[in-house]
Structure 1
């Protein structure tokens, strides 16, 4: 981090956002860019990443890397590419994730492993790739996008809940390890958020229950005391706050963004 950087901006900082091509990741990337950061977008779909870069504007320093965050060698190469393109990494937002529903009795080992790999092991691999240089330079912000599923249980998503609980455990443990290094580690935990991933969940509810689209939406919204879905920008604002230099005393936290569902 440049010592002369404005404490209320991210000028001269480099942020990596995984799962940055759409949904919450795209909203986070936009907030970081608008705050002055150079941003590397990572994700599996190169076309989505390039579309997001075009939307953010060519005048900004944005680098795109297609990567599967579950593959160690690919992650190492992606972070090397990010550093070569935009310099040392100051901020890491582990947003890449996937949700798949099934009753526990029909959750086979393949589904279980997929949920752990993309939602938990991906966070582990990306954090290992970014953390050493943060510690060496005496500054870093790691924000893990978990879920209310990491704070409470939901039926029919046992594997997803287990993975997101793991993300929160990783966040807390690593925050203690890095407490004196200038690096903070936090998690944000959105409830049901208006994203393509949510639409996939709604489609599953509609298919399996025969409910109308409106009834399916209302059923999921009842989990939120405000009776609505979270907007991606609301999650992005929280991530931006945690990424700021002045948020140095915030570490080891799992902040629920859920309209009061989790208190």
Structure 2
């Protein structure tokens, strides 16, 4: 029988075109894993895929994963191209960071859709095939702000808190099927996009305050680097992380402890 160590594993990474998702994709490719890159914008995905330069071990899927049926199409596309899926990284997210009373019905819905619904729908879509093969690694990207109550993050934390809770429930339910479900919860992370916005003066005073507050909470005195988040994801995606499940792994420079 062929084992996961004898064949190339296949991962799906959502929100893969930019930021943390792109970094995770790059790290998994470096580890020898084939990756399906999912996101909203097909052109952005193809540009990111070209940057990676590993066309034979990548594919892309574009669609709104918060909408019914799209995650199932993503999983089916990945299985059609590569035969199976061993790893799902639920990184897709976003939403408006704002004082709670400034949210509108539209921004409330968008924040829940982009963070919780994308994760829930993608996970539900991949679980049957993982159960059938008796193996799977699901890694959700959560948020350190769920623990530390970062400025203007209450609504975002409601969505990401759901992502954390979903993982612990699924971890217990599917442990006997060889499936682990964990969360990597980053602190403020310095992506290329955020660094470029800062350098170009494209952030307002409110967001500047959020970033300053986030950095002040971190004893190491800086935001995380993307590759530090990707390293934690890569570890949990490994076959030999098999006895770690239902955990929230904070990659946070010490901003909260225990």
Please give the alpha-carbon distance, in whole angstroms, between the structure 2 residues aligned to 1:80 and 1:33: 21
Q: 1:81 aligns with which of 60, 77, 94?
A: 77
Q: CA deviation at 1:96?
A: 0.4
1:250 matched residue in structure 2: 244
Please name the residue that 2:40 is paired with.
44
- Displacement after TM superposition at 1:207 (Å): 2.3
Give, in whole Å, the separation in 1 of the partners of 2:212 and 2:157: 22
Match of 1:122 among 118, 130, 137: 118
Task: Please tell me whether the aligned partners of residues 104 and 158 of structure 1 are also in contact (alpha carbons under 8 angstroms).
Answer: yes
Tell whether 2:161 aligns with 1:173: no
Residue pairs, 1:103-252, within 5 angstroms: 103-195=99-191, 198=194, 206-208=203-205, 218-252=212-246
| Structure 1 runs not aligned, ≥5 long | none
Are the aligned partners of 1:28 and 1:239 in contact in 2 as well (CA < 8 Å)? yes
5 Å-filtered alignment, 1:28-43, equals: 28-43=24-39
1:116-163 C-alpha deviation (Å, 9 max, x unpaired): 111001100000111111011110000000110233322322210100
Q: Tell me the TM-score normalized by structure 1.
A: 0.90
Task: Tell me which residue corresponds to 1:5.
Answer: 5
- The 1:4/1:74 distance shift into structure 2, 3 A limit, reads closer
Confirm or deny: 8 A CA contact 2:95 2:110 kept in the other structure.
no
CA deviations over 1:190-220 (Å, ceiling 9, x no partner): 00001256469969995245x9x7x875444
Structure 1 distance, partners of 2:224, 2:31, is: 22
Asked whether 1:261 is paired with 2:255, we answer yes
CA shift, 1:108, in A, is: 2.1
TM-score, normalised via structure 2 length: 0.91
SS of the counterpart of 1:72?
coil
Query: 1:67 offset after TM fit, Å?
Result: 1.3
Report if the CA contact (8 A) 1:98-1:118 is conserved. Answer: yes
Large movers: runs of 4+ above 6 Å: 200-205
Report the more deviating stretch, 70-79 or 160-169: 70-79
Distance (whole Å) between structure 2 residues aligned to residue 153 and residue 72 of structure 1: 31
Count of residues paired in the alignment = 256
SS at match of 1:180: helix
Structure 2 unmatched ranges of 5 or more: none
2:66–2:113: 8 Å Cα contact kept in structure 1? yes
3-state SS, counterpart of residue 89 of structure 1: coil
SS in 1 for 2:224: coil
User: Would the alpha carbon gap of residues 217 and 167 (structure 1) be closer, same or farther in structure 2, given more than 3 Å must change?
Assistant: closer
The farther-off stretch of 192-201 and 38-47 is 192-201
- 1:105 deviates by 1.6
